[in-house]
Amino acid sequence: MHKLLEKNAAFILFYREHAWVAVVDKLVHPTVKALQVLPSEPAKFIEGLKALLPFSTTNYAHVVCGIVPDEQFFYKTKFDHKSKKSASSFFREMLKARFNIALESNAVSIVNAEGGADFSEEGETNADIVVCGTPTKKVEEVQQFLLDNGLYPERIELASLASIGGIMDYARLEKIENPILVVEMLFEKIQVFILNNKKLDVAHSIPKGVRSIAAALQKTLNLATVEEAINALKKPDMAANEPLQASLMEKVSRELKSYAGFYEVQTGQSIEHLYCPLLGSNLYWMAKQLSRNIEKKLLAVDFERWSAAQNIRLSHDATYALDTRYFNLFSLMGVYRP
Amino acid sequence: MKINWKTFLEKAKPLPNAWHSNFRNPKTLPNLQIEFAIGFLKRLTFVCCIVLVLAVAVKWYRIQDLSDQIQEVEAFIEAQNKANFKQLATSALFREKSAKITTLYNTFFPAVNLDDFLLELSDLQTGMLRFHEVSIDRRVNFSTEVSKPNNPRNPPLKNKPVAAIKVPFFRCVLVGQVNDIYDFALDTLDALKTRMRGMSTLKGWEVKQPQLSELRRKDLADKQEMIAFVLTLEID
């Protein structure tokens, strides 16, 4: 009886072919009851999730969903509003003129670069802000998919934004004062953030994603298609072949190194840690290789410490081995004070 | 009390969250309050329907029960009616027969009216004369020579009955006492005999001289005597 009365909710992180799922009792300060990585292919995902928690179109399960679309964008800029125009029309024009973003077709959020609170123009005349978003279509697809299957989205977030919050929170907890370089290896691009204490200092994207690395591999190995190359990237022998890794990651590493160097020179602070979320175990060698190439330590998250501080409990019946790769999912659960 | 759902829900979700921008589209989200209310109403309707059906079923059952009872009672009444008609018929028959019998009786055996006779007899008592017991023997002796009376509806009471019919036998035995001196008592009894013969209820009948059959004397205090007697009166 008490099992039936127990509330069920879930945090879901969709990223390409994987859906990372944490079944919890509630969405704030949750107790994690089950943790699993499901295939993101709709039918298999729903089937897998139904085995973990009950839900139907007449009885919704409440979820917080993180998505990482390749089309997502992060721009750091300044809110410099001195004209007499209203703030909304100012943003509309600024986004169109500077970043070529139309508000009609994009879901956009503006947060303070420091603290990450939703930006409100009241009293702010000169503030660092982060403009982030994704095409509306992407969000609506996910929302419709969730609703059609009996999952009520309490929030649909950009997982990268939550990840920034999570890493900042962890850095504060561990008293890491040096800037942290966050590199998200997406398929079409690489999203780069540099976090400095409570502030997002750099948000940038390099148009060289996993696909370009795969293309390089395709050239090297004379493979027929990019898909074959992607599969080759995930093979275990790839993880062992360090010289090949180094050559594949070279271009990316060089670019990242120049970003990091530029930042270090500009701010006079040296970046100590590198954090690479979203890489599955079969691609995690990329993170390791990057860490070697740009000579930064990979950030290893002490889950026990962080989850205790965040009031996130791990139920003892759930069996899983937590490592840093789960941190992106858990950063959706965290509560971050601005 | 009016609940402001908006503020209520906002209070229920205390997420001061930084770095958690929500990109969902509220326009295409279902309203959970409405969904809940609809679900609740559906369940309520279902329960109401069940209750209604049950109520109707109970009513129907009761009506069935009542109509069964009505049928039973009707059958009973019908059966009773039949019996009653039978009884009525019997009763009518009885009345008819008894009238005939009375007529016949009156025709063949005209008699002294006992009620009047006894009333008159009791009036004969005086302070000293008391009756204890009256026994009346009234009989008819049938005769083979019986023949039809002239008019059975109106029998000739005054006259002697038709010769062929035996006169009905009427005997009254009177037991009583006279509290007086013996000689006076005898006089009283003589007077009683005379008065009995002249009783109006016995008019038209030939009354024989009453016979004293027994006399007993008993002395009482103050020189008083009690004379017990048995007097027999017969009609011929």
pLDDT at B112 over 70: yes
Tokens representing residue B153 in the block: 């509806």
- Determine the pLDDT at residue B16: 62
Nearest-CA distance B24 → chain A (Å): 5
Q: How confident is the model at residue B144 (pLDDT cuts 50, 70, 90)?
A: very low
Sorted by where each begins, the domain ranges of chain A are: 3-68+138-163+303-331, 75-133, 177-298
- Determine the pLDDT at residue A159: 94
Nearest to B212 by CA among B170, B169, B175, B171: B175
Nearest to A11 by CA among A307, A234, A302: A307
- Determine the pLDDT at residue A4: 45
- Determine the pLDDT at residue B152: 55
Q: Do A3-68+138-163+303-331 and A177-298 agree at the fold level?
A: yes
- Determine the pLDDT at residue B108: 65
Nearest to A15 by CA among A245, A210, A235, A225: A210
- Determine the pLDDT at residue B154: 55
Instruction: Compute the average pLDDT of residues B149-167.
Output: 51
Number of residues in chain A: 338
- Determine the pLDDT at residue A324: 77
Alpha helix positions (H), chain A: 2-5, 42-50, 87-94, 136-148, 159-173, 210-221, 226-234, 236-240, 242-267, 284-294, 303-309, 327-330
CA dihedral for B58, B59, B63, B69, sign (positive or negative):
positive
Q: Is A111 in contact with A79 (CB distance < 8 Å)?
A: no
Q: Which residues contact B6 (CB under 8 A, 6 or more apart)?
A: none
pLDDT digits (tens, 9 = 90+) for B160-200: 444 445 556 788 898 998 888 888 888 888 888 888 888 88
Return the residue of B nearest to A135 by Cα.
Answer: B23
CB of A133 within 8 Å of a chain B CB? The answer is yes
**CB pair distance less than 8 Å for A336 and B19:** yes
Q: Using an 8 Å CB-CB cutoff, list chain B residues near A75.
A: none
Among A135-149, B125-139, B144-158, which is the least confidently predicted range? B144-158
Question: What percent of chain B stands above pLDDT 90?
Answer: 22
Q: Which residues contact A271 (CB under 8 A, 6 or more apart)?
A: A178, A179, A180, A181, A194, A260, A263, A264, A296
Q: Using an 8 Å CB-CB cutoff, list chain B residues near A140.
A: 25, 28
**CB pair distance less than 8 Å for B21 and A147:** no
- Determine the pLDDT at residue A232: 87
Distance of CA A140 to the CA centre of its chain: 19
Q: Which residues contact B57 (CB under 8 A, 6 or more apart)?
A: none
> Average model confidence (pLDDT) for chain B?
80
* CATH number given to A3-68+138-163+303-331: 3.30.420
Task: Please state which CATH class domain A177-298 belongs to.
Answer: alpha beta
pLDDT at B104 over 60: yes
- Determine the pLDDT at residue B140: 64
**CB pair distance less than 8 Å for A109 and B21:** yes
pLDDT at B111 over 80: no
pLDDT digits (tens, 9 = 90+) for B4-57: 555 555 444 555 678 998 899 888 888 888 888 888 899 999 999 999 999 999
Of B14, B16, B20, the CB nearest to A157: B20
Of B25, B30, B39, the CB nearest to A140: B25
pLDDT at B149 over 80: no
Q: Which residues contact B132 (CB under 8 A, 6 or more apart)?
A: B175, B176, B177
Nearest to B134 by CA among B172, B167, B96: B172
Dihedral over alpha carbons A42, A45, A48, A49 (to 10 degrees)? -110
Strands A180-185 vs A31-39: parallel, antiparallel or unpaired? unpaired
Q: Which residues contact B107 (CB under 8 A, 6 or more apart)?
A: B149, B152, B153, B155
pLDDT at B141 over 70: no
- Determine the pLDDT at residue B164: 44
State the Cα–Cα distance between residues A80 and A93, nearest whole angstrom: 13
Q: Is A307 in contact with A11 (CB distance < 8 Å)?
A: no
Q: Is A336 in contact with A116 (CB distance < 8 Å)?
A: yes
For chain A, residues with pLDDT lower than 70 are 1-6, 81-85, 122-125, 317-321
